Structure 1
Amino acid sequence: MSYGPSAPPTSPPPSSAPAPTSTTAPAPPATPAPASSPAPAPPSVPAPQPLSGNPSSNVSTGLVVGIVMAGVVILLVLSLLFVYRRKKRRRSDEENYNGPPPAPAGPKNGVYGGQQYHWQENPPSHADNVTYPKPSPPPVPSRQRQSPGYSSTTSNSTTEPPPFTSCSGGSGSNYSCGEILPSFSPGTALGLSNSTFTYEELASATEGFSDANLLGQGGFGYVHKGILPNGKEVAVKRLKVGSEQGEREFLAEVEIISRVHHKDLVSLVRYCITGSHRMLVYDFVPNNTLEFHLHGKGQPTMDWPTRMKIALGSAKGLAYLHEDCHPKIIHRDIKAANILLDFKFEAKVSDFGLAKFCSDVNTHVSTRVMGTFGYLAPEYASSGKLTDKSDVFSFGKTEQRDQGKILKL
């Protein structure tokens, strides 16, 4: 039918081939464009690589660590050197103390302060915080002053000695006992009209200071037993000639011990000043020292009641010095060797050569550090500030080291 020839007219569609051009294949190239745009993202991933691979950063970090470690090592070495030098200086200060000068052979453990080992922080000097006037014997006419000894007769024409001045405020003293104490006259203080011996009298009493009568020796000098013409037994403490420190201790002991009167303190009988000779005469205490009974060879062990009796007697003597004496007296050398005993084991504190006066209104006395090493209070040894508590510490060390730990006072 007419449908056959109508097929050719359908050929115009080839002329409409431009339709496919409207859906042209250029569309596929549009899809690759987005793929090319994210390409810049990958460079952000390898960014950490410069940190691990940068040699300059490693060098700077190692340098800082090395500097810190070197600084720590240097500080450690410096601190060790400082500690070592400080200990060495302290050790040298402790070893270089002024011990007693060598003395001839004789009894080692004497009485009346015969065995003394005084430790000093500073070398002796002529000036001290306490100035002791030279004691004067009972005045005599001027024509008799050139005689070998001093007469015991009194005279009203001679002037009184200057007043005793305590604790001069020299350099290095924060506090001072700057009061004027009563004038000192040994004979008046002792209550004796005859307060001195001549050298000849004491030489006769000790049989010429013979070795047979030697009780002890030490830095001060020698102690001999003597018998006076009336039969009284005495102990004569003789100063070594030319000892400046011994001269000061002699004056201090005469000044101080002539003011004290207590049953637990050794009693001064008289003294002697003849030319260069200086001697102190005490009541003889026959039973040696506490140190002898505690540490002497062949001595029996001291029982508890006896130890307590000695400790209480010594404490009462110290309490008298600190509380009943005005101005108070600080002993400064409490130890077993300076505690004498009688046959009833009654204690008597002795050796006042280092003692100091101190006014009740002052906290302490600033002075040179002197005493026996091992018994010094640490605050006094380090600062030179002396108080009555220094004696209490020395007393405690005596009970701890010498009496034994069973005494817990």
Structure 2
Amino acid sequence: MNRSGTLSHARLCMDLRIAGPPAALSLRRLKFQSNKHYDEISMTGRCRSSSFEKDVGIECMEGLRPEVDHAVDRGIDNCLTYTDLGVGKKYEGKVRDTYDLGDTTIIVTTDRQSAFDRHLASIPFKGQVLNETSAWWMRKTTHIIPNALIDVPDPNISVMQKCTVFPVEFVCRGFMTGSTETSLWTHYNRGEREYCGNVFPDGMKKNEQLSHNVLTPTTKAADHDVPISPDDIVKQGLMSQEDWDVASAAALALFEFGQKEAASRGLLLVDTKYEFGKDPEGNIMLIDEIHTPDSSRYWIADGYKERLENGQEPQNIDKEFLRLWFRANCDPYNDDVLPEAPKELVKELSRRYIFLYETITGEAFVPADPDIPAQERIEEAISKYIH
């Protein structure tokens, strides 16, 4: 895909000729043997404790097209876990490998699934879902702000304009929720009523929708995100007031647009994060990813109000069960060698990423051909950028 939004490559994909995403999904029960105390994971991500040496259960999706299920089965042995393109300077992140080519960067989104600061497994088509979801949103949001995307020569690759990155993450929130140290609900539940320059009224409850969307920026410390107010961003010289005004307005506009698009597909875009930078001409641009299943929280809109009134957690397409399986079967922080995740769990997580892609975009997912070795495929795709 180029800046006009048209595809610029033969995608090396399976010719599925699918009319559209599934209309509905059902669930089936999978069970896995656990050798210790475990958590039982449901579609909503809620867990309950169970006893020693019993089955670990998970509600699994049914209803994806047979062609996609077949591709997942075949793709499990052809995941993109590691890249070595032999060009530029390589930066390896948790999921993305970035190659600096000078004026441009090549970003390869792999299938790595990480938690506990460790690689847990490789998930078929996860990288493709993240890369193509972000590209889909970038095509649709150029009326709000320019972005750095130049080309998508492969389902797992984005070629980006090199930018000078602002050292701030723009976290947009529409709901009072979260459980991490930087989440809005964590601070509110401690009695704090001002957070990152935003003031919140008394009497709010977890998962309640805010009266208006808010921006809660963070800046990077050594190994974690630190909340910061807009005033401090400018005072500390992280951004000029003018740059902050442009980028913050763009972030809120992108978020509002994303919420409307998500609502049209039965989803609530709860919160997300953006990154911005400047190109060599000084233009502020959206960089990195936008509205992907990993950078954003999505809830199922149907039944949200009823569940809120009943004190229940909103429904979502849970992706935490693999992390919880490792917690149940090893000490992921201290064990030298981790057990191999059950293949059915890995395939289930792949199905959920694919379902999220189709639900978010409203388009059918076309898997990259699992019969072509992933490393060989991406090397061919970027050949025009390195010769």
TM-score of the superposition, structure 2-length normalised? 0.35
Larger Rg: 1
Higher relative contact order (CA 8 A, sep 6+): 2
* TM-score, normalization by structure 1: 0.34
Q: Which has the higher strand share?
A: 2
